Amino acid sequence: MSDIWSWDRAAEVFPDLLMAFLQVTLVATVLGSLIAAVLGLVVAIIRRVMPKWISMPIHAVMEFIRMTPVVIQLLFVFYTFNNLSGMTIGVVVLGVHYATYMAEVYRSGIDAIPKGQWEASTALSMSRTRTWVKVIIPQAVRTTLPALGTWVISMFKDTPFLTVIFVGEMVREAERYGSRTFTYTEALVLAGLIFLVASYGTSVLLRKMEKRLATY
């Protein structure tokens, strides 16, 4: 058993993995999710309110981004904008990539809002901006939160792709330890367990947020 698993090696590598998780993996996920959530909402609204000559090109660009692998996007941006740090590129690319998915989620949430909500806002002489801010967006976010949370977790699990642009995230740290000690089992297992715990914790938090929003 000691040849397969060593608690000493696990204890040795765990602090480095946890630090890489907190400083890189978690930060990239949080910042990328914020970009995706805001940009996705903006795109969804633009597609709804703007004329086709504006919304259609934006939709075409978003479809292109969504249909191409995030690894290719990371490498393209990394070698094109080599004056930026790998972490900055990783956060922006992940955020923009997942904004394309969140935009579709928001769009479905907006389309699901009953027509009567729009008519009631008009009857109350609410401005177009106030209608969006006070009526439409809160309802769309409330109904789409579970789907948005799914994409956040997916982004979190895609952070190991940052290793292709030499960002020292958790899996890359596990690989470094393995190449240095010629034992990969402990590092990779612990990295997987950290991903599992963090993903489960995120899903629990999102369920609590969903229940809380449902009471409003």
How far from the centroid of its chain's Cα atoms is residue 159's Cα?
Answer: 9
Structure-token pair, residue 172: 């890359």
First to last CA, the chain: 54
Domains annotated on the chain, with CATH: 25-214 (1.10.3720.10)
**Residue 135 burial (CB count, 10 A):** 17
Q: What is the pTM of this model?
A: 0.89
Q: What digits encode the pLDDT tens for the residues 2-32?
A: 567 888 899 999 999 999 999 999 999 999 9
Residue 183: partners with Cβ closer than 8 Å, 6 or more residues away: 6, 9
Residue 145: partners with Cβ closer than 8 Å, 6 or more residues away: 206, 209, 210, 213
Q: For the chain, how big is the Rg over CA atoms in Å?
A: 21
Q: What digits encode the pLDDT tens for the residues 152-201?
A: 999 999 999 999 998 988 988 999 998 998 888 999 999 999 999 998 88
How far is it, in rounded angstroms, from Cα 196 to Cα 93?
23
